[in-house]
Structure 1
């Protein structure tokens, strides 16, 4: 646990009123910097170096359900120079045949919880229906590049004679910025983003972010979303380890590993059939990038690699499927059961590499 952290999340028991909670917190002479009312949680600023002691003080109070350090999660990509001018990932997962079944509903919304989305991009502009910022950045726009790339994979404008295609042709994009311009976000930022997406009608939430530390606050937000019939998808992480990364490892989330063009596990991708559900393309993926300078060093379009790139393929597929079948359990089961049994299935991932056409066919019939 980092003594240098100065943020603490305190969740009070349901019987505790807001007035009682605020009085209890003020007794400790700490400042409330955010409330998360759906979770009965408060984010507090404490003096650096006192975080562990303050955590124990709150844990011992009868009004408190739990207290945890407000740690961070980060983007999950491996930047790379452009190598391909083709979207091999879309072809690999059989998207063109899938589009013969459906191109998705324009009423359905995919929330991109990330570094923001470049709203001025001509391949994304018409899709964005919400811009919200929960990060420490001063803007909801993407100065990093990661979120714009992720959004394009999931749902770039398609058949507009420019740029790239997105898997979810008709569904809309909710830009919910939870990571700062360096790609880092606090647990409380991410939880707030999940709750906001849910309350604003997202059907799919894509989280191309992860970290090795579990968070009760993020987990409670995930449960809240799942209880509201939201499909949650997250990157498994890029440390080539079988250790669980979060939020991907939570049971309510579809955890996605990365594979290359030969369906081999990407060298960086985390793995483990006990917690990684499926695989998707994640090496040299071509997608949208901000039209202005950003941290990737590329503009307009470019290729990036990572489980961050794999997750939005699954989110885009989930959006197509949810346009026809609203039950998240049926959608998830179809994605997993129709996955191609590539090498490593059952050991590296519980299921194989996604197949968009087969998954849609399962819920619609031949």
Structure 2
């Protein structure tokens, strides 16, 4: 059965509602309940981990049998498992919903399968309505589900001869203002920004995302990795978000903890040592390499040891785009060999 125009409008509204929810361990999801006549009976969205899912949030605003025979329009397939909350597919069945329209399939092995459960109970189900819009809204969450960890971007700035700093360690600024502005825009799109204690002690970065002197509305959570103590007056301690500190050691454990905290995307800006460690550990999905038309010479390379003993073991990337930024050039490339299929949903 085709999706009606009023249901399309309801999905547009559901996507707007979903965007109100916080980014985190759970996806942003919105729901609209329509009467058999096409009138909106209730709306809801997911307010964060541990709170009712969007469908339950909407149903909770109805009394008695008000949902019987109604249509539920949801941006993600109703879940089919009991986690911190019960399965939404069962709640919709119990409420008497007769038709469900959703945008995207739930990718979780555990949480997926809600559509099949609904159909088995006699509920009419339509999938794929405005799937592109729903996918764009929760693309980072979907990627984190596929990888089983946050999507990780490693960024560095380098001279044309591959140096990250001059012989005396100075590096501000290798690239020009257009490149630096681009970095801040990309920081603002990330959930976390990660550096090592060496960078904190050498540069005292604020780790904020700025448009000139103005902070972007969204700020990445600052993360510092290393065994050395961060000074009490360090700029990172004045960040809008409380910084997370991890001792030097197993990067896998750090990333697992960030994933548990709901971090979907991380931006590595910690200098050659940290950048190389993430790449060597197979924890880099994308590279942003800002290349300036200057020569520095010396030994301060943009990357150090990444576990490549011979040319046959070279880490090869696919360049997605070359972006001119004033006199500089940005290479955006991906490590396609790092992706895995960890699809355990967390809704």
TM-score category, normalised to shorter length: under 0.3
Question: Higher Cα Rg: structure 1 or 2?
Answer: 2
TM-score (norm 1): 0.24
